[in-house]
């Protein structure tokens, strides 16, 4: 049975494949994508990186197409297409004229039935190993991985999305194929549409293309991550010339109603035209300092981070802590909150005018909240944030105190930090 919510249609095929459709009658295009509810946190340590590897292999061959034909067929539609893998999901998507939507969905669906061609496996393994090597030369990527490794130690959120050189090198094609069969089935996927589409026609199209997929049981539950604990961790990487510092505190997850207040606070503290910008960057302490919330369905962290000359690490940390204490003690102003609201409104509304960007908004809500939100609801959540709400947030979710400190660069810093090897 089809149920309507605002401009949304939410329908499930008999085999368990869920369809979520947003009708955008004012446009002439449509975007569609398969959300596969699996990512790095669903992997075993020995299979670290398998979700991302599988994303690559779905472009390498299907029962109907080899990798060359997949690429040609995307280009013949003029499609804007891609895929990504994160800690919690994998998403394959494309954006085309409405007239080409069925061809786009058929191609994406064909990729969801990948043959994991053995003749492409070893070559793609080399590509991913090179990707891992390249990421090791990016200080921001190294800090991101170190944060997860130390703060979520012993939990699947700790391993990198790309996997490690060791885990990818020993991964076999049969292991990859087994993971594919376990995860890529209707009960673990959502087909999402945004654009000028007729919902009944779209449902019939999905039934024609995906209706014969075998029904399977839903994915197993996920283990809850550990709560962040205070401490300091340092990793010496001599090839970098800068020191990266990240100070973290527990924060509301992707489903927590406090998330909007957290995001507004982060923007005031370390976003565009922020306190970090005026009082740290413009003062010459460090060239890059920012703040943000990194969230998952059941965990999150508020991060203040920056890059500086190694001998100025103490100065940068003191400056970040000073700004965080000031904002915790004194709160934020009406003007600061309003500026963030205005930027957020503009971003939400302009993105919502294009099916491609609207699809990106929808996949986050559907994966985390299990339902879509229209633009009005998203805007209302931001509009509800006030200086008083942010003050209450900081009492519930403190951003002062020791926190979880990580440092990466040519210097072992701070001296009391636990040293972690590569």
* pLDDT score recorded for residue 1: 39
Structural domains in the chain (count): 2
Rounded percentage of the chain residues whose pLDDT exceeds 70: 98
* pLDDT score recorded for residue 341: 95
Q: Does 197 share its domain with 236?
A: no
Sheet architecture: strand order including 80-85: 3-5, 8-12, 18-23, 189-195, 29-36, 90-97, 80-85
**422: Cα within 13 Å, side-chain hemisphere:** 13
* pLDDT score recorded for residue 76: 97
pLDDT above 90 for 266: yes
Domain boundary among 210, 245, 263: 210
| Structural domain harbouring 65 | 3-210
* pLDDT score recorded for residue 422: 65
Q: Does 45 share its domain with 140?
A: yes
Q: What is the pLDDT of residues 215-265, one digit of tens each?
A: 988 877 888 999 999 999 999 999 999 999 999 999 999 999 999 999 999
Q: Does 10 share its domain with 58?
A: yes
Q: Does 86 share its domain with 57?
A: yes
pLDDT above 70 for 45: yes
Q: Considering the domain boundaries, does residue 191 fall inside one?
A: yes
Q: Does 161 share its domain with 241?
A: no
pLDDT above 70 for 322: yes
Q: Considering the domain boundaries, does residue 218 fall inside one?
A: no
pLDDT above 60 for 2: no
Average pLDDT over residues 373-381: 93
Q: Does 363 share its domain with 285?
A: yes
* pLDDT score recorded for residue 6: 52
Q: Does 253 share its domain with 200?
A: no
Q: Considering the domain boundaries, does residue 139 fall inside one?
A: yes
Q: Does 113 share its domain with 238?
A: no
- The vertex-276 CA angle with 333 and 402, nearest 5°, equals 95
Contact 45, 106 (CB under 8 A): no
Q: Does 355 share its domain with 392?
A: yes
Q: Does 239 share its domain with 354?
A: yes
Average pLDDT over residues 97-110: 98
Q: Considering the domain boundaries, does residue 272 fall inside one?
A: yes
pLDDT above 90 for 288: yes
Q: Considering the domain boundaries, does residue 220 fall inside one?
A: no
pLDDT above 70 for 309: yes
* pLDDT score recorded for residue 3: 40
pLDDT above 90 for 125: yes
Q: Does 191 share its domain with 265?
A: no
pLDDT above 70 for 269: yes
| Mean pLDDT across the chain | 95
pLDDT above 50 for 271: yes
Q: Does 202 share its domain with 282?
A: no
Sheet architecture: strand order including 243-250: 288-295, 300-308, 243-250, 404-409, 231-236, 418-419
Average pLDDT over residues 309-331: 98
Domain of residue 116, CATH code:
3.30.830.10
């Amino acid at each position: 049975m089809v149920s309507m919510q605002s401009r949304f249609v939410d329908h499930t095929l008999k085999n368990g494949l869920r369809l979520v459709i947003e009708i955008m009658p004012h446009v002439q295009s449509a975007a569609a994508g398969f959300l596969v509810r699996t990512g790095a946190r669903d992997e075993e340590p020995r299979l670290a990186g398998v979700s991302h590897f599988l994303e690559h292999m779905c472009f390498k061959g299907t029962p109907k197409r080899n990798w060359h034909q997949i690429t040609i067929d995307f280009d013949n539609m003029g499609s804007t297409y891609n895929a990504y893998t994160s800690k919690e999901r994998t998403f394959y998507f494309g954006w085309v004229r409405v007239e080409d939507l069925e061809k786009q969905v058929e191609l994406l669906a064909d990729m969801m039935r990948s043959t994991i061609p053995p003749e492409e496996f070893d070559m793609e393994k080399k590509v991913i190993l090179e990707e891992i090597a390249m990421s090791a030369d990016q200080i921001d990527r190294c800090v991101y991985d170190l944060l997860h490794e130390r703060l979520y130690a012993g939990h699947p959120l700790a391993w990198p999305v790309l996997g490690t050189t060791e885990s990818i090198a020993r991964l076999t094609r049969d292991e990859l194929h087994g993971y594919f069969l376990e995860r890529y089935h209707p009960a673990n996927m959502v087909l999402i549409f945004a654009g000028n589409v007729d919902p009944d026609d779209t449902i019939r199209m999905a039934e024609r293309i995906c209706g014969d997929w075998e029904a399977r049981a839903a994915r197993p539950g996920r283990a809850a991550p550990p709560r962040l604990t205070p401490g300091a961790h340092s990793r010496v990487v001599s090839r970098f010339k800068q020191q990266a510092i990240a100070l973290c505190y527990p924060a509301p997850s992707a489903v927590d109603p406090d998330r909007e207040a957290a995001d507004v606070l982060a923007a005031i503290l370390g976003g565009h035209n922020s306190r970090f910008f005026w009082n740290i960057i413009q003062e010459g302490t460090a060239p890059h300092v920012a703040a943000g919330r990194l969230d998952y369905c059941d965990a999150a962290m508020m991060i203040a981070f920056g890059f500086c000359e190694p001998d100025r690490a103490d100065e940068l940390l003191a400056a970040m802590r000073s700004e965080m204490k000031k904002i915790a003690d004194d709160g934020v102003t009406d003007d600061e909150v309003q500026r963030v609201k205005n930027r957020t409104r503009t971003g939400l509304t302009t993105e919502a005018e294009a099916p491609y960007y609207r699809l990106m908004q929808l996949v986050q809500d559907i994966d985390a909240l299990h339902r879509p939100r229209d633009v009005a609801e998203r805007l209302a959540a931001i509009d509800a944030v006030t200086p008083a709400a942010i003050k209450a947030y900081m009492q519930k979710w403190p951003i002062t105190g020791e926190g979880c400190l990580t440092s990466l660069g040519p210097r072992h810093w701070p001296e009391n930090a636990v040293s972690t090897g590569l």
